[in-house]
Amino acid sequence: MGFGGLDRLKSLGGGGLLNASVSPVAIDFGTGCLRALQIAPGDTPTLMAAACLETPPELLSDPVARLNWQLEALPTLLKNKGFKGRRAVCSIPASQTLCRHLRLQKTDGVSMSALVRSALPVQLGVDPNTVVFRHVEAGDSTKNAGKIEAICFVTSRDLVDRLMRAVRGAKLEPVGIHNEFAAVASAFEPVAIASSDKSTTLYLDIGAGLTNLIITRAGKLAFAKSIEIGGRHLDATIGRQLKLDAREATRHRMALEYLTAAEARAASAGAAPEPAGTGLMPAPGGTAVMTAPRVQAAKPGIVPVADLTESLEILTDEASMCLRYYGSIFPGEKVDRLVFVGGLARQTPICRHVARALKLPAQLGDPLARVARTGKEPLNGVDLSGPQPGWTVALGLCLSPTDL
């Protein structure tokens, strides 16, 4: 799964992480936050340092201005914050990553990388000389004999060069650069390996800008897609309906118990699912099981103050289509569970609504639950007192190969 067409990038499998006492500094250029994380790797990883800067609300809908702000803020995020060494690995923002599945004909003597490269102009309309790409072989397509399913991740060569310059500008040496989809899979792969877990897991990384959908088989990436619905879309809907500014709309969303008019009406009738903060209990692997929603009597007079029906239907319809496509790649296989990660995963009503729509047993992912802490680690802008689904990409970057 190497970046194709970039001479200085080598094949995966570099031993930089394994040979170091600490991981590279992981830099996650997320929509809602700029995060940095470092761990000491091992059977039980240990937290070394973490830092976070929230994106100003006015930049959430402007990916160019947001990235400019993050690149300028990067030295401040890292300086004197307890990070060790000079190695760094960073993510490519999902908003600037083209993720597509390609069904390619096997050809004797032709590498998969060459097949993907030749398909870029035809199937994606992309000049391979102007982009950097990675691919993952998802598996043989049993319905199409002789063909193989590849997940292709494409981004601008100029963007990759810019990220690397920014890392060097922060006095670090870039040793890895990865897409967010692969980082999510990497964050939980050690758990699957350690427990010999062969199950199929759907990860929904619900962020401020969009939602990344990742399916893994026995911890390995098998499907990936971006869905253009995230926290800013929900906040924009709330803002329009209630005439609130961006900050007020976000605070209102975080306080919501019921997300749609139908849920609010059911609550008024005393037959709504439990509100936020209930139904969670511990589960193996740093996650919390989200049990089936129970029914409770509700206080009379609950009325919808915001209706997110349309946005949530787009999200769940897109996720359902992804599950159907996955079923076409691996006929007869079922997804065993749904794990919510990303910043919005901490908003339980959203997770419950989506889990009910997809009819899957659901969990809240907390990748840092299995990272040991002493309580004395340098933490800047970070509160680790609760679950941390928003740190999934950062931890995955810490565990990813150093391949530059």
Helices 348-358 and 309-329: crossing angle, nearest 10°? 50
Query: What's the mean pLDDT in 303-314?
Result: 84
Query: Length of the chain, please?
Result: 404
Token readout for 137 is: 């072989």
pLDDT exceeds cutoff 50 at 276: no
Contact 306, 238 (CB under 8 A): yes
User: Residue 212, Cβ neighbours under 10 Å: how many?
Assistant: 27
Mean confidence (pLDDT) of the chain = 85
Give me the pLDDT at residue 277, please. Answer: 37
Amino acid, res. 115: L
Give me the pLDDT at residue 356, please. Answer: 94
Give me the pLDDT at residue 180, please. Answer: 97
Give me the pLDDT at residue 262, please. Answer: 85
Give me the pLDDT at residue 287, please. Answer: 52
Give me the pLDDT at residue 143, please. Answer: 56
Give the integer Cα–Cα distance in Å for 186 and 341. Answer: 13
Give the integer Cα–Cα distance in Å for 153 and 142. Answer: 23
β-pairing verdict for 287-290 and 200-206: unpaired
Q: Which is more confidently placed, 168 or 10?
A: 168
Query: What's the mean pLDDT in 337-354?
Result: 95
% of the chain surpassing 70 pLDDT: 84
Hey, which of 9-23, 149-163, 270-284 has the most confident mean pLDDT?
A: 149-163
The dotted CATH code for 231-363 is 3.30.420
Using CA of residue 142, residue 121, residue 132, residue 16, what is the dihedral sign? Answer: positive
Lowest mean pLDDT among 172-186, 277-291, 375-389: 277-291
Give the integer Cα–Cα distance in Å for 139 and 79. Answer: 43
pLDDT exceeds cutoff 80 at 280: no
Give me the pLDDT at residue 284, please. Answer: 43
Buried b (16+ CB within 10 A) or exposed e, 284-321: ebbbbebbebeeeebeeebebebbbeebbeebbebbee
Query: What's the mean pLDDT in 96-113?
Result: 91
